[in-house]
Amino acid sequence: MAGMTIRVLVVDDDALVRAGLTMMLDGAEGVVVVGEAADGEAVPAALDAHPTDVVLMDLRMPKVNGLVATRRVRARAEPPEVIVLTTFDTDENVLRALRAGASGFLLKDSPPTQIAEAVRRVAAGEPILSPRITRRLMDRAATEAGAHERARAALARLSEREHEVAVAVGHGHTNAEIAATLHLSVATVKAHITRILTKLELGNRTQIALLTHDAGLC
């Protein structure tokens, strides 16, 4: 994303939160807020009006919550990435949002620099996988009935190299780190990830990571 401006849509029912995020992100290098929405119901129209790269999505909204809105965003023909915002790190819906296609999530009290960096990483195709709370939520996914067996069966459809790449994604490694570890080019790693997404009918890297965690590999 070097030299490009990352366009962000801020979605939150709290006007003060929207104003704070907009002010903070508009001051970050390479990032601009192109629009705001006060409820998930207004997101489709906002995306139609403002080409967007990343949506910062609140979970708890009165009409259409962030979970439903995330599914709708990711179902678009050319969907922007979604970062879920939440007040409580124990919110059960965070895990569901990741499964719906969100590329990660942040606590609303995260430092401004962390939020801006998360936007840049997600826009560059590197979802937020490393924070402690993200790992705890993904670990919890494996407790769901049948999740372990389903994940193992899905990953068995991959080639040996694709399986190695999937596990590396699950550990939160970047494309460059995976390439260095497996002695591949970055372009080859990207090609493997594309094939993994296609074979397993997944939406993004975060869902690959969730699958490897469900399988007990990370």
Check: CB of residue 123 under 8 Å from CB of residue 81. yes
Domains of the chain: residue spans and CATH:
6-128 (3.40.50.2300), 146-214 (1.10.10.10)
129 or 29: whose pLDDT is higher? 29
- Output the six-digit token pair for 211: 């699958």
Percent of the chain predicted with pLDDT > 90: 48
- pLDDT over threshold 70, residue 163: yes
CA distance 91 to 56: 17
164 exposure class (CB count in 10 Å sphere: 0-12, 13-18, 19+) = middle
pLDDT tens digits for range 28-38: 888 999 999 99
- Reduce the DSSP state of residue 37 to 3 states and report it: strand
Check: CB of residue 106 under 8 Å from CB of residue 83. yes
Say whether pTM exceeds 0.75.
Answer: no
- Output the six-digit token pair for 171: 């550990």
Of 94, 95, 81, nearest to 9 (Cα)? 81
pLDDT tens digits for range 80-95: 999 988 876 555 666 7
Q: Can you say whether the dihedral through the CA atoms of 78, 21, 2, 171 is positive or negative?
A: negative
* Phi and psi at residue 90, to the nearest 5°: -100, 5
